[in-house]
Amino acid sequence: MQKVFESCDALDKKCYERYGLSEDILMEHAACGMASYIRKYYSKESSILIVAGKGNNGADGIVLARQLHGEYNVKLFIVSEVKSKMAKIQLERAMLLGVPCINKLEDAEVIVDAIYGSGLNRELNESTAYIIHQLNAFKGKKIACDTPTGMGSSVVFVADITITMGARTEALYLDGNKDSIGEVFCANLGLSALFYESESQVCLLEESDLNLPSRTRQNSHKGNYGHAVVFCGEKEGAGLISGMSAATFGAGITTLVAQEHIALPAYLMHSTVVPGNASALAIGMGLGGHFESKFLQKYVLDSSLPIVLDADSFYSEELLKILEQKDREIVLTPHPKEFVSLWKILTGEQLTVTDIQAKRFEVVRNFNAKYPHVTLLLKGANTIIMQKEHIYINPLGCSKLSKGGSGDVLSGLIVSLLAQGYTAVNATIQASLALVMGANRYRGASYAMLPTDLIREIGELEEK
Protein backbone atom coordinates (compact mmCIF):
# COMPACT_ATOMS: atom_id res chain seq x y z
CA MET A 1 0.00 0.00 0.00
CA GLN A 2 1.07 3.55 -0.72
CA LYS A 3 0.08 6.59 1.34
CA VAL A 4 -2.22 9.17 -0.25
CA PHE A 5 -2.75 12.75 0.97
CA GLU A 6 -5.40 15.42 0.46
CA SER A 7 -2.59 17.86 -0.42
CA CYS A 8 1.22 18.01 -0.38
CA ASP A 9 1.36 21.63 0.85
CA ALA A 10 1.94 20.69 4.49
CA LEU A 11 4.58 18.13 3.46
CA ASP A 12 6.48 20.73 1.43
CA LYS A 13 6.24 23.21 4.30
CA LYS A 14 7.80 20.63 6.62
CA CYS A 15 10.75 20.35 4.24
CA TYR A 16 11.31 24.11 4.34
CA GLU A 17 10.93 24.54 8.08
CA ARG A 18 12.28 21.32 9.57
CA TYR A 19 14.89 20.14 7.10
CA GLY A 20 16.14 23.41 5.62
CA LEU A 21 15.30 22.30 2.09
CA SER A 22 14.44 25.35 0.04
CA GLU A 23 11.81 25.60 -2.67
CA ASP A 24 14.69 25.75 -5.16
CA ILE A 25 16.12 22.43 -3.92
CA LEU A 26 12.75 20.67 -4.03
CA MET A 27 12.19 22.00 -7.54
CA GLU A 28 15.53 20.61 -8.72
CA HIS A 29 14.63 17.17 -7.37
CA ALA A 30 11.12 17.31 -8.83
CA ALA A 31 12.60 17.95 -12.27
CA CYS A 32 15.24 15.30 -11.65
CA GLY A 33 12.46 12.76 -11.06
CA MET A 34 10.92 13.60 -14.43
CA ALA A 35 14.33 13.58 -16.11
CA SER A 36 15.11 10.14 -14.66
CA TYR A 37 11.91 8.75 -16.12
CA ILE A 38 12.70 10.20 -19.56
CA ARG A 39 16.29 8.95 -19.46
CA LYS A 40 15.07 5.48 -18.55
CA TYR A 41 12.57 5.14 -21.39
CA TYR A 42 13.86 7.41 -24.18
CA SER A 43 17.14 7.28 -26.04
CA LYS A 44 19.51 10.25 -26.11
CA GLU A 45 18.75 12.92 -28.69
CA SER A 46 15.01 12.14 -28.68
CA SER A 47 12.91 15.25 -29.30
CA ILE A 48 11.24 16.70 -26.22
CA LEU A 49 8.70 19.53 -26.12
CA ILE A 50 8.24 21.13 -22.68
CA VAL A 51 5.29 23.51 -22.35
CA ALA A 52 5.67 25.69 -19.25
CA GLY A 53 3.22 27.99 -17.52
CA LYS A 54 3.85 31.21 -15.61
CA GLY A 55 3.90 29.76 -12.07
CA ASN A 56 5.84 27.15 -10.13
CA ASN A 57 4.54 24.25 -12.18
CA GLY A 58 6.02 26.01 -15.17
CA ALA A 59 9.23 26.48 -13.20
CA ASP A 60 9.44 22.70 -12.74
CA GLY A 61 9.18 22.31 -16.51
CA ILE A 62 11.86 24.94 -17.12
CA VAL A 63 14.24 23.14 -14.73
CA LEU A 64 13.54 19.90 -16.60
CA ALA A 65 14.43 21.60 -19.89
CA ARG A 66 17.76 22.76 -18.40
CA GLN A 67 18.57 19.31 -17.00
CA LEU A 68 17.90 17.53 -20.31
CA HIS A 69 19.41 20.15 -22.61
CA GLY A 70 22.47 18.78 -24.37
CA GLU A 71 21.44 15.14 -24.01
CA TYR A 72 18.11 15.52 -25.81
CA ASN A 73 16.66 17.71 -28.53
CA VAL A 74 14.79 19.96 -26.09
CA LYS A 75 12.40 22.73 -27.11
CA LEU A 76 10.85 24.98 -24.44
CA PHE A 77 7.54 26.74 -25.06
CA ILE A 78 6.50 29.39 -22.51
CA VAL A 79 2.72 29.84 -22.50
CA SER A 80 2.83 33.43 -21.20
CA GLU A 81 5.18 35.76 -19.38
CA VAL A 82 6.45 33.99 -16.25
CA LYS A 83 5.14 35.50 -13.00
CA SER A 84 6.36 33.55 -9.96
CA LYS A 85 9.73 34.32 -8.41
CA MET A 86 11.01 30.78 -8.96
CA ALA A 87 9.82 30.69 -12.58
CA LYS A 88 11.78 33.88 -13.31
CA ILE A 89 14.91 32.48 -11.65
CA GLN A 90 14.67 29.15 -13.48
CA LEU A 91 14.04 30.79 -16.86
CA GLU A 92 17.11 32.99 -16.41
CA ARG A 93 19.23 29.92 -15.64
CA ALA A 94 17.85 28.06 -18.66
CA MET A 95 18.60 31.00 -20.95
CA LEU A 96 22.18 31.27 -19.66
CA LEU A 97 22.67 27.63 -20.58
CA GLY A 98 21.21 28.18 -24.03
CA VAL A 99 18.03 26.13 -23.75
CA PRO A 100 16.16 26.79 -27.02
CA CYS A 101 12.79 28.55 -26.68
CA ILE A 102 10.22 28.33 -29.45
CA ASN A 103 7.15 30.48 -30.12
CA LYS A 104 5.17 27.91 -32.09
CA LEU A 105 4.10 24.49 -30.83
CA GLU A 106 5.45 21.46 -32.67
CA ASP A 107 5.09 17.74 -32.11
CA ALA A 108 7.87 15.75 -30.43
CA GLU A 109 8.58 12.23 -29.25
CA VAL A 110 7.94 13.36 -25.66
CA ILE A 111 5.53 16.16 -24.71
CA VAL A 112 5.66 17.52 -21.16
CA ASP A 113 2.75 19.54 -19.77
CA ALA A 114 3.97 21.93 -17.05
CA ILE A 115 1.38 24.67 -17.48
CA TYR A 116 -0.73 24.38 -14.33
CA GLY A 117 -0.34 22.08 -11.34
CA SER A 118 -2.78 20.99 -8.67
CA GLY A 119 -3.64 24.53 -7.57
CA LEU A 120 -5.89 25.35 -10.54
CA ASN A 121 -9.57 25.39 -9.52
CA ARG A 122 -11.21 27.09 -12.49
CA GLU A 123 -11.86 26.56 -16.18
CA LEU A 124 -8.93 27.27 -18.49
CA ASN A 125 -8.95 30.53 -20.41
CA GLU A 126 -9.50 30.37 -24.16
CA SER A 127 -5.83 30.62 -25.16
CA THR A 128 -4.67 27.92 -22.73
CA ALA A 129 -7.54 25.64 -23.75
CA TYR A 130 -6.45 26.03 -27.39
CA ILE A 131 -2.90 25.02 -26.45
CA ILE A 132 -4.19 21.93 -24.62
CA HIS A 133 -6.23 20.93 -27.68
CA GLN A 134 -3.09 21.23 -29.79
CA LEU A 135 -1.00 19.15 -27.38
CA ASN A 136 -3.65 16.43 -27.18
CA ALA A 137 -3.65 16.21 -30.99
CA PHE A 138 0.11 15.59 -31.11
CA LYS A 139 1.31 11.99 -31.41
CA GLY A 140 4.18 12.08 -28.92
CA LYS A 141 4.20 10.39 -25.53
CA LYS A 142 2.50 12.76 -23.10
CA ILE A 143 3.78 13.42 -19.58
CA ALA A 144 2.03 15.64 -17.04
CA CYS A 145 4.10 17.44 -14.42
CA ASP A 146 2.39 16.97 -11.03
CA THR A 147 -1.14 16.90 -12.50
CA PRO A 148 -2.51 17.30 -16.03
CA THR A 149 -3.41 20.91 -16.83
CA GLY A 150 -7.15 21.45 -16.60
CA MET A 151 -7.75 18.37 -14.46
CA GLY A 152 -11.36 18.47 -13.35
CA SER A 153 -12.41 21.01 -15.99
CA SER A 154 -13.98 20.62 -19.42
CA VAL A 155 -10.64 20.86 -21.28
CA VAL A 156 -7.79 18.76 -19.91
CA PHE A 157 -4.38 17.53 -21.02
CA VAL A 158 -4.64 13.79 -21.57
CA ALA A 159 -1.46 12.28 -20.17
CA ASP A 160 0.01 8.85 -20.72
CA ILE A 161 1.84 9.28 -17.43
CA THR A 162 1.52 11.75 -14.58
CA ILE A 163 4.66 12.35 -12.54
CA THR A 164 3.49 13.65 -9.18
CA MET A 165 5.88 15.37 -6.81
CA GLY A 166 6.78 13.88 -3.43
CA ALA A 167 3.56 12.02 -2.69
CA ARG A 168 0.26 10.97 -4.22
CA THR A 169 -2.84 13.10 -3.69
CA GLU A 170 -6.53 12.21 -3.61
CA ALA A 171 -7.32 14.32 -6.69
CA LEU A 172 -5.35 11.86 -8.81
CA TYR A 173 -7.89 9.17 -7.95
CA LEU A 174 -11.18 10.92 -8.61
CA ASP A 175 -13.17 9.04 -11.25
CA GLY A 176 -13.50 12.12 -13.45
CA ASN A 177 -9.70 12.27 -13.77
CA LYS A 178 -9.13 8.59 -14.57
CA ASP A 179 -8.83 9.02 -18.34
CA SER A 180 -6.52 12.06 -18.20
CA ILE A 181 -4.08 10.87 -15.52
CA GLY A 182 -2.62 7.79 -17.18
CA GLU A 183 -0.06 5.87 -15.15
CA VAL A 184 1.05 7.62 -11.94
CA PHE A 185 4.73 7.85 -11.03
CA CYS A 186 5.86 9.54 -7.80
CA ALA A 187 9.06 11.60 -7.99
CA ASN A 188 11.38 11.76 -4.97
CA LEU A 189 12.09 15.31 -3.73
CA GLY A 190 15.55 14.68 -2.34
CA LEU A 191 14.68 12.88 0.87
CA SER A 192 13.21 9.53 1.79
CA ALA A 193 9.43 9.18 1.96
CA LEU A 194 10.05 8.25 5.59
CA PHE A 195 10.87 11.92 6.24
CA TYR A 196 8.76 13.61 3.57
CA GLU A 197 5.46 11.88 4.27
CA SER A 198 3.42 12.19 7.45
CA GLU A 199 0.76 9.88 8.83
CA SER A 200 -2.17 9.28 6.50
CA GLN A 201 -5.41 7.39 6.90
CA VAL A 202 -5.73 7.04 3.12
CA CYS A 203 -3.93 4.21 1.31
CA LEU A 204 -3.57 3.21 -2.31
CA LEU A 205 -4.00 -0.52 -2.90
CA GLU A 206 -1.54 -2.36 -5.11
CA GLU A 207 -1.52 -5.81 -6.72
CA SER A 208 0.95 -6.98 -4.07
CA ASP A 209 -1.71 -6.36 -1.40
CA LEU A 210 -3.81 -9.25 -2.70
CA ASN A 211 -3.96 -12.12 -0.23
CA LEU A 212 -5.99 -14.97 -1.69
CA PRO A 213 -7.87 -17.42 0.55
CA SER A 214 -5.37 -20.12 -0.39
CA ARG A 215 -5.69 -23.44 1.41
CA THR A 216 -2.49 -24.61 3.05
CA ARG A 217 -4.07 -26.82 5.71
CA GLN A 218 -4.45 -30.36 4.39
CA ASN A 219 -6.41 -31.78 7.34
CA SER A 220 -9.59 -29.82 6.68
CA HIS A 221 -13.17 -30.20 5.49
CA LYS A 222 -15.88 -27.96 4.04
CA GLY A 223 -16.99 -26.87 7.49
CA ASN A 224 -13.63 -25.17 8.02
CA TYR A 225 -14.37 -22.71 5.21
CA GLY A 226 -17.77 -21.40 6.20
CA HIS A 227 -21.26 -21.40 4.77
CA ALA A 228 -22.12 -18.46 2.51
CA VAL A 229 -25.80 -17.68 1.97
CA VAL A 230 -27.03 -15.59 -0.96
CA PHE A 231 -30.63 -14.37 -1.19
CA CYS A 232 -31.99 -14.98 -4.66
CA GLY A 233 -34.79 -12.56 -5.62
CA GLU A 234 -36.92 -11.56 -8.60
CA LYS A 235 -33.95 -11.44 -10.98
CA GLU A 236 -32.58 -14.83 -10.09
CA GLY A 237 -29.57 -14.50 -12.40
CA ALA A 238 -28.00 -11.91 -10.10
CA GLY A 239 -28.20 -14.22 -7.09
CA LEU A 240 -26.93 -17.13 -9.16
CA ILE A 241 -23.87 -15.15 -10.27
CA SER A 242 -23.12 -14.18 -6.67
CA GLY A 243 -23.49 -17.77 -5.53
CA MET A 244 -21.13 -19.04 -8.24
CA SER A 245 -18.63 -16.35 -7.28
CA ALA A 246 -18.82 -17.20 -3.57
CA ALA A 247 -18.29 -20.90 -4.20
CA THR A 248 -15.34 -20.22 -6.53
CA PHE A 249 -13.66 -17.98 -3.96
CA GLY A 250 -13.48 -20.64 -1.30
CA ALA A 251 -16.68 -20.82 0.73
CA GLY A 252 -17.03 -24.38 2.03
CA ILE A 253 -20.75 -24.41 1.21
CA THR A 254 -22.79 -21.89 -0.72
CA THR A 255 -26.58 -21.85 -0.46
CA LEU A 256 -29.04 -19.76 -2.45
CA VAL A 257 -32.18 -18.84 -0.53
CA ALA A 258 -35.16 -18.68 -2.88
CA GLN A 259 -38.86 -19.26 -2.31
CA GLU A 260 -39.21 -21.12 -5.58
CA HIS A 261 -37.11 -23.90 -7.04
CA ILE A 262 -34.52 -22.64 -9.51
CA ALA A 263 -32.05 -24.48 -11.71
CA LEU A 264 -28.63 -24.41 -10.04
CA PRO A 265 -25.19 -25.81 -10.76
CA ALA A 266 -24.65 -29.00 -8.78
CA TYR A 267 -22.18 -27.30 -6.42
CA LEU A 268 -24.76 -24.75 -5.18
CA MET A 269 -27.35 -25.63 -2.55
CA HIS A 270 -30.95 -24.41 -2.47
CA SER A 271 -33.07 -23.58 0.54
CA THR A 272 -36.26 -21.65 1.27
CA VAL A 273 -34.85 -20.41 4.60
CA VAL A 274 -31.42 -19.50 5.95
CA PRO A 275 -29.71 -22.73 7.10
CA GLY A 276 -28.89 -22.95 10.79
CA ASN A 277 -25.16 -23.34 10.14
CA ALA A 278 -24.86 -20.27 7.91
CA SER A 279 -21.74 -18.13 8.39
CA ALA A 280 -22.48 -14.98 6.34
CA LEU A 281 -25.27 -13.45 4.25
CA ALA A 282 -25.50 -11.45 1.03
CA ILE A 283 -28.71 -9.73 -0.02
CA GLY A 284 -29.95 -7.23 -2.56
CA MET A 285 -28.69 -8.58 -5.89
CA GLY A 286 -31.79 -8.70 -8.12
CA LEU A 287 -33.90 -8.81 -4.93
CA GLY A 288 -36.92 -6.75 -5.94
CA GLY A 289 -39.86 -7.38 -3.61
CA HIS A 290 -39.34 -11.12 -3.54
CA PHE A 291 -39.39 -11.68 0.24
CA GLU A 292 -42.02 -10.55 2.73
CA SER A 293 -41.11 -8.23 5.59
CA LYS A 294 -41.77 -10.93 8.21
CA PHE A 295 -39.33 -13.27 6.44
CA LEU A 296 -36.63 -10.57 6.16
CA GLN A 297 -37.10 -9.61 9.79
CA LYS A 298 -36.59 -13.18 10.98
CA TYR A 299 -33.68 -14.22 8.75
CA VAL A 300 -31.88 -10.94 8.03
CA LEU A 301 -32.64 -8.14 10.50
CA ASP A 302 -32.81 -10.34 13.58
CA SER A 303 -29.63 -12.16 12.57
CA SER A 304 -26.16 -11.22 13.81
CA LEU A 305 -24.33 -12.91 10.92
CA PRO A 306 -21.89 -10.84 8.84
CA ILE A 307 -23.75 -9.40 5.86
CA VAL A 308 -23.22 -7.80 2.45
CA LEU A 309 -25.87 -5.34 1.26
CA ASP A 310 -25.95 -4.60 -2.46
CA ALA A 311 -28.17 -3.33 -5.27
CA ASP A 312 -31.88 -3.32 -4.29
CA SER A 313 -30.96 -3.15 -0.58
CA PHE A 314 -30.22 0.54 -1.06
CA TYR A 315 -33.84 1.27 -1.96
CA SER A 316 -35.22 -0.52 1.12
CA GLU A 317 -35.78 1.42 4.35
CA GLU A 318 -36.32 -1.91 6.07
CA LEU A 319 -32.98 -3.45 5.10
CA LEU A 320 -31.03 -0.26 5.78
CA LYS A 321 -32.07 -0.51 9.44
CA ILE A 322 -29.28 -3.09 9.63
CA LEU A 323 -26.81 -0.19 9.67
CA GLU A 324 -27.83 0.57 13.25
CA GLN A 325 -26.43 -2.80 14.40
CA LYS A 326 -23.06 -1.64 15.68
CA ASP A 327 -21.76 -5.08 16.70
CA ARG A 328 -22.37 -6.68 13.31
CA GLU A 329 -19.91 -7.02 10.41
CA ILE A 330 -21.64 -5.06 7.64
CA VAL A 331 -20.50 -4.30 4.08
CA LEU A 332 -22.27 -1.95 1.66
CA THR A 333 -21.34 -1.98 -2.05
CA PRO A 334 -23.31 0.78 -3.84
CA HIS A 335 -22.55 2.40 -7.15
CA PRO A 336 -23.13 6.19 -7.19
CA LYS A 337 -26.80 6.02 -8.24
CA GLU A 338 -27.53 3.51 -5.48
CA PHE A 339 -25.70 5.71 -2.99
CA VAL A 340 -28.06 8.57 -3.91
CA SER A 341 -30.97 6.42 -2.75
CA LEU A 342 -29.42 5.07 0.45
CA TRP A 343 -28.22 8.55 1.51
CA LYS A 344 -31.71 9.99 0.96
CA ILE A 345 -33.23 7.22 3.07
CA LEU A 346 -30.64 7.60 5.83
CA THR A 347 -30.44 11.40 6.03
CA GLY A 348 -33.17 12.95 3.92
CA GLU A 349 -30.50 14.81 1.92
CA GLN A 350 -30.91 14.68 -1.85
CA LEU A 351 -27.63 14.24 -3.67
CA THR A 352 -27.08 13.64 -7.37
CA VAL A 353 -24.71 11.25 -9.09
CA THR A 354 -22.79 14.33 -10.27
CA ASP A 355 -22.43 15.49 -6.65
CA ILE A 356 -21.08 12.13 -5.61
CA GLN A 357 -18.62 11.79 -8.48
CA ALA A 358 -17.24 15.30 -7.94
CA LYS A 359 -16.70 14.76 -4.20
CA ARG A 360 -16.24 11.03 -3.76
CA PHE A 361 -13.83 11.30 -0.83
CA GLU A 362 -16.01 13.82 0.94
CA VAL A 363 -19.06 11.61 0.39
CA VAL A 364 -17.51 8.48 1.92
CA ARG A 365 -16.15 10.53 4.85
CA ASN A 366 -19.61 11.93 5.52
CA PHE A 367 -21.05 8.42 5.51
CA ASN A 368 -18.28 7.15 7.77
CA ALA A 369 -18.94 9.92 10.29
CA LYS A 370 -22.46 8.53 10.76
CA TYR A 371 -21.67 4.81 10.47
CA PRO A 372 -17.99 4.26 11.33
CA HIS A 373 -18.59 0.57 12.08
CA VAL A 374 -19.90 -0.11 8.55
CA THR A 375 -17.54 -0.93 5.69
CA LEU A 376 -18.55 1.11 2.64
CA LEU A 377 -17.32 0.25 -0.85
CA LEU A 378 -18.25 3.00 -3.32
CA LYS A 379 -17.96 1.55 -6.81
CA GLY A 380 -16.38 3.48 -9.65
CA ALA A 381 -13.41 3.72 -11.96
CA ASN A 382 -11.37 4.06 -8.75
CA THR A 383 -13.12 2.08 -6.02
CA ILE A 384 -13.09 3.67 -2.57
CA ILE A 385 -13.40 1.55 0.58
CA MET A 386 -13.84 3.14 4.01
CA GLN A 387 -14.29 1.99 7.58
CA LYS A 388 -13.41 3.64 10.91
CA GLU A 389 -11.82 6.72 9.30
CA HIS A 390 -9.49 4.63 7.11
CA ILE A 391 -9.80 4.89 3.33
CA TYR A 392 -8.45 2.39 0.79
CA ILE A 393 -8.36 3.30 -2.91
CA ASN A 394 -8.37 0.57 -5.54
CA PRO A 395 -7.21 2.18 -8.82
CA LEU A 396 -6.65 -1.09 -10.70
CA GLY A 397 -10.06 -1.53 -12.31
CA CYS A 398 -10.79 -1.41 -16.03
CA SER A 399 -13.75 -0.82 -18.35
CA LYS A 400 -14.18 -4.57 -18.89
CA LEU A 401 -16.09 -4.50 -15.59
CA SER A 402 -18.66 -2.03 -16.98
CA LYS A 403 -21.26 -4.71 -17.52
CA GLY A 404 -24.22 -6.10 -15.59
CA GLY A 405 -23.19 -8.89 -13.26
CA SER A 406 -19.76 -7.58 -12.25
CA GLY A 407 -21.19 -6.19 -9.02
CA ASP A 408 -22.91 -9.51 -8.32
CA VAL A 409 -19.54 -11.22 -8.65
CA LEU A 410 -18.07 -8.75 -6.15
CA SER A 411 -20.82 -9.41 -3.60
CA GLY A 412 -20.21 -13.12 -3.93
CA LEU A 413 -16.48 -12.68 -3.33
CA ILE A 414 -17.09 -10.60 -0.21
CA VAL A 415 -19.67 -12.92 1.35
CA SER A 416 -17.37 -15.87 0.65
CA LEU A 417 -14.55 -14.25 2.63
CA LEU A 418 -16.91 -13.19 5.42
CA ALA A 419 -18.06 -16.80 5.66
CA GLN A 420 -14.41 -17.87 5.92
CA GLY A 421 -13.88 -15.58 8.93
CA TYR A 422 -12.42 -12.42 7.38
CA THR A 423 -13.30 -9.08 8.96
CA ALA A 424 -15.64 -6.89 6.93
CA VAL A 425 -12.97 -4.42 5.84
CA ASN A 426 -10.39 -7.09 4.98
CA ALA A 427 -12.94 -9.15 3.07
CA THR A 428 -13.92 -6.06 1.09
CA ILE A 429 -10.33 -5.07 0.28
CA GLN A 430 -9.33 -8.56 -0.83
CA ALA A 431 -12.51 -9.14 -2.84
CA SER A 432 -12.09 -5.79 -4.57
CA LEU A 433 -8.51 -6.64 -5.53
CA ALA A 434 -9.42 -10.11 -6.75
CA LEU A 435 -12.23 -8.68 -8.88
CA VAL A 436 -10.06 -6.17 -10.75
CA MET A 437 -7.10 -8.50 -11.11
CA GLY A 438 -9.37 -11.17 -12.54
CA ALA A 439 -10.75 -8.65 -15.03
CA ASN A 440 -7.26 -7.51 -16.00
CA ARG A 441 -6.29 -11.12 -16.76
CA TYR A 442 -9.14 -11.57 -19.23
CA ARG A 443 -7.68 -11.72 -22.74
CA GLY A 444 -10.85 -11.46 -24.80
CA ALA A 445 -12.17 -8.28 -26.39
CA SER A 446 -12.54 -5.31 -24.02
CA TYR A 447 -16.32 -5.42 -24.47
CA ALA A 448 -16.81 -9.18 -24.31
CA MET A 449 -16.16 -10.28 -20.72
CA LEU A 450 -19.11 -12.04 -19.07
CA PRO A 451 -19.55 -12.57 -15.32
CA THR A 452 -18.78 -16.24 -15.85
CA ASP A 453 -15.51 -15.30 -17.61
CA LEU A 454 -14.63 -13.06 -14.67
CA ILE A 455 -15.36 -15.79 -12.13
CA ARG A 456 -13.17 -18.20 -14.07
CA GLU A 457 -10.26 -15.74 -14.16
CA ILE A 458 -10.58 -15.14 -10.40
CA GLY A 459 -10.47 -18.87 -9.87
CA GLU A 460 -7.08 -18.95 -11.60
CA LEU A 461 -5.40 -16.08 -9.72
CA GLU A 462 -3.49 -18.34 -7.36
CA GLU A 463 0.09 -18.96 -8.47
CA LYS A 464 0.96 -22.60 -8.94
Residue 464, pLDDT above cutoff 70: no
133 and 230 belong to one structural domain:
no
120 and 136 belong to one structural domain:
yes
141 and 288 belong to one structural domain:
no
Whether residue 134 is contained in a domain is answered as: yes
> What's the average model confidence in pLDDT over 190-203?
90
> What's the average model confidence in pLDDT over 90-101?
91
Name the domain boundary from 133, 166, 200. Answer: 200
Whether residue 290 is contained in a domain is answered as: yes
pLDDT digits (tens, 9 = 90+) for 257-288: 998 888 899 899 999 999 999 999 999 998 98
What CA–CA distance (Å, rounded) separates 453 from 438?
9
290 and 435 belong to one structural domain:
yes
50 and 167 belong to one structural domain:
yes
- Percent of the chain past pLDDT 90, that is, above it, reads 76
139 and 19 belong to one structural domain:
yes
pLDDT for 289 equals: 81
267 against 121, higher pLDDT: 267
pLDDT digits (tens, 9 = 90+) for 216-266: 888 889 888 999 999 998 898 999 999 999 999 999 999 999 988 888 998
Strand residues in 208-306 grouped as ranges (E): 227-231, 253-257, 269-271, 280-283
Whether residue 464 is contained in a domain is answered as: no
Name the domain boundary from 200, 228, 259. Answer: 200
- Average the pLDDT over each of 181-190, 200-209, 390-399 and give the range with the smallest value: 181-190
189 and 214 belong to one structural domain:
no
Whether residue 463 is contained in a domain is answered as: no
What CA–CA distance (Å, rounded) separates 356 from 191?
36
pLDDT digits (tens, 9 = 90+) for 59-76: 999 999 999 999 999 999
pLDDT digits (tens, 9 = 90+) for 375-422: 999 999 999 999 999 999 999 999 999 999 999 999 999 999 999 999
Angle between helices 56-68 and 23-41 (to 10 degrees): 50
Q: Render 351-410 in DSSP notation, one character per residue.
A: --HHHHHHTHHHHHHHHHHH-TTSEEEE-SSSEEEEETTEEEEE----GGG-STTHHHHH
What pTM was computed for the model? 0.92
pLDDT for 279 equals: 97
241 and 336 belong to one structural domain:
yes
Whether residue 74 is contained in a domain is answered as: yes
259 and 368 belong to one structural domain:
yes
375 and 417 belong to one structural domain:
yes
Domain of residue 436, CATH code: 3.40.1190.20
Whether residue 302 is contained in a domain is answered as: yes
pLDDT digits (tens, 9 = 90+) for 422-457: 999 999 999 999 999 999 999 999 999 999 999 999
212 and 196 belong to one structural domain:
no
pLDDT digits (tens, 9 = 90+) for 47-56: 999 999 988 8
> What's the average model confidence in pLDDT over 283-303?
92
pLDDT for 119 equals: 63
- For residue 38, the one-letter residue type is I
Whether residue 66 is contained in a domain is answered as: yes
57 and 89 belong to one structural domain:
yes
Name the domain boundary from 200, 225, 260. Answer: 200
| Domain carrying residue 90 | 2-200
Do residues 227 and 253 make contact, with C-beta atoms less than 8 angstroms apart? yes
Whether residue 407 is contained in a domain is answered as: yes
- Count of domains for the chain: 2
What CA–CA distance (Å, rounded) separates 282 from 408?
10
Domain of residue 8, CATH code: 3.40.50.10260
pLDDT band of residue 120 (cuts 50, 70, 90) is low
